[in-house]
Amino acid sequence: MNVLAIKEVSFSYLPSQPVFEQINLTIGQGRFLAMVGPNGAGKSTLLKLCVGLLKPTAGRIELLGTPLEQFKDWSKVVYIAQQTLRDRNFPATVEEVVAMGRVAPAGIGNRLKKADYDLVEEMLITVGMQDFRKRMIGELSGGQQQRVAIAKALVAKPEVLLLDEATSGVDTATRENIYSLLRSINQAQRMSIIMVSHDVECISHYADQIANVDGGITYYGDPADFQQFCRLQRGSRPAQGDWGEISYV
Amino acid sequence: MFELLQYDFMQRALLAGILVGILCPVIGVFLILRRQSLIGDGLGHIAFAGVTAGWLLGVYPVLSATVVTVLSALGIEELRSRRPVFADMVLAIFFYSGIAVAIILSSMVKSNNVNLISYLFGSIVTVSESDVQTIAGLTVVVLGILFFIFKELVAVTFDEEAARVSGIPVKKINTMIAVLTALTVSVSMRIVGILLVSALMVIPVAASLQLSRSFRSTLINAVIISEISVLAGLVLSFRADLATGGTIVMTAVTIFIGAFLSKQLNGFSLARMGTHKSE
């Protein structure tokens, strides 16, 4: 089964300026897809369309086999925005933030139970943040906050995890750590991951599929072949490393 | 302190004050973190229109104020959700309309305006038995609803987009917080007054944010600071014959200044310790 199917989807913020037109993309279960592309190409917009935060101007999107308008099983989907912490002064500990991931599965009016908090502890260990559980979220570094955001996503036990630039503003070593963590989660739990990234070269070592978004889907396939695609695209233009002009870092 | 309880009006004021002291910061935590600190102020001015309307129509003013503020809160929330960029402008329009209507209606009230002024500034001597009953009833309702949706409210306040995607009914939660704010304003105006009702929602929370190290402790400390402010303010206003609302709010402001300075001094000491260690 496809976890996500984008069928003939068009979208524009202003009628005269389409972000993309009639794009198609399907993502199979258990895949780790990286959406790459230049700034302003519409990667984040496409991700927001996939989770219903924006509505397409044409076409349709299916999530876990159900059209988005009829999709009700939101506990199976988790979205991590580009800016995981909107307010550095938000007075919450790491533990409290991760527990927020159990709010929707628990249901309105129900308190979180011991099993929920056990899961919070388990996921803090998974992302290596167990020693920070009582720290205030705003006191952590960007990379640590991303790990907390991933733990918050994992406690919901989703089938699909969508991340928008999960590694923006962190150094290369932290970025590789986060990609590696996501890859191990993807392989251990067969969780489908769709991730927007600027870092083509690095993410290609971890994702098993690449979609290049640039006014449409200009490439969709293996990371290894994407390197060849980049060389062909580059043509006679000056090279910028192995990835040529499609190195969006 | 105990001789104050000999007076019936003081017993009523203390009971109403304790209830308001719990309610205001509990709702205020969410307003501050949602960057809606001034909504209580706006709704307070709208509540005054409701009070004057009730006075003219011969309806219990707290009831008419409750109806008007709840309807206005629903209107503000609907417009805010449609045009988030203009949220402060929407609030300002409701705010000015409320005060304008209140001025017009109060000019039409033929009887003396002393009681209307008690709504504006708060007064312990005018808190009636029915006020206490209304305040108690609305406090139970508001706290009950807050308890029911508490964890969803925290999640929506922390990250509205992620909450929406996870299936939490964000629009309903936002509407509920608007209604609860309106009810809190209506409940609190008899004690602190319409002009200062927002202060009791904001200042104890602002003070608590200086001292607390988790969401849970922020909430608990805010309620403690609010109760100290209300009780100390009530006693002080009785002893020194000062305006109740102003005394309560200035007590809270004093606590806030103390908490703020304490945080700054702590930060300074830690920075110095760090410097010594690195030396």
What structural domains and CATH numbers belong to chain B?
2-278 (1.10.3470.10)
Query: Do residue A53 and residue B209 have CB atoms under 8 angstroms apart?
Result: no
Picking from A75, A112, A136, the nearest residue to B167 by CB comes out as A75
What's the CA gap between B144 and B71, in Å, rounded? 21
How many CB atoms lie under 10 A from the CB of residue B274? 10
Six-digit token pair at A203?
A: 């993410």
B234 within 8 A of B225, measured Cβ to Cβ: no
Residues 6+ apart with CB under 8 A from A30: A186, A190, A191, A192
Q: Does residue A160 have a pLDDT over 50?
A: yes
Query: Do residue B168 and residue A104 have CB atoms under 8 angstroms apart?
Result: yes
Q: In this structure, are strands A77-80 and A209-213 parallel, antiparallel, or unpaired?
A: unpaired
Q: With b meaning 16 or more CB within 10 Å and e meaning fewer, what string describes B35-60?
A: ebbbbbbbbbbbbbbbbbbbbeeeee
The mean pLDDT of A34-45, rounded to a whole number, is 88
Query: Do residue B152 and residue A87 have CB atoms under 8 angstroms apart?
Result: no
Q: Does residue A47 have a pLDDT over 90?
A: yes
B41 within 8 A of B95, measured Cβ to Cβ: yes
The mean pLDDT of A8-36, rounded to a whole number, is 89
H helices of A29-135, where? 43-50, 94-99, 103-106, 114-126
Residues 6+ apart with CB under 8 A from B76: B39, B42, B90, B91, B94, B178
What's the CA gap between B217 and A134, in Å, rounded? 12
Six-digit token pair at B68?
A: 């008007």
Closest-CA distance, B16 to chain A, in angstroms, reads 28
Q: Return per-residue pLDDT of chain B as tens, 279 residues.
A: 677 788 888 888 889 899 999 999 999 999 999 988 888 888 988 999 999 999 889 898 889 999 999 999 999 989 888 887 788 888 889 889 998 998 898 888 766 666 777 788 777 777 888 888 988 998 999 999 999 999 999 999 999 989 999 999 999 999 999 999 999 998 888 778 887 888 999 999 999 999 999 999 999 999 999 999 999 998 998 889 888 888 999 999 999 999 999 988 887 676 666 655 544
Q: Does residue A238 have a pLDDT over 80?
A: no
Q: Which residue of B has its CA nearest to A49?
A: B165
A65 within 8 A of A9, measured Cβ to Cβ: no
> In terms of Cα–Cα distance, which of A148, A129, A113, A99 is closest to B216?
A99
Query: Do residue A103 and residue B161 have CB atoms under 8 angstroms apart?
Result: no
> In terms of Cα–Cα distance, which of B2, B6, B13, B3 is closest to B231?
B13
Residue of A90, A139, A140, A164 to mutate for B, most B C-beta atoms under 10 A = A90
Strand ranges of the sheet holding A2-14, from the earlier edge strand across to the other edge: A17-28, A2-14, A58-63, A66-67
**Residue type at A91?**
P
> In terms of Cα–Cα distance, which of B155, B123, B165 is closest to B16?
B123
Threshold 0.90, pTM exceeds: no
């962190």: which residue's tokens? A170
Helix (H, G, I), strand (E, B) or coil at A134: coil
- Among A54-63, A163-172, B176-185, name the one with the lowest average pLDDT: A163-172
Q: Which residues of A touch B155 (CB under 8 A)?
A: 100, 103-104
Residue A216 has phi, psi (to 5 degrees) of 175, -175
Picking from B159, B161, B166, the nearest residue to A75 by CB comes out as B166
**DSSP of B61-90:** HHHHHHHHHHHHHHHHHHHHHH-GGGHHHH
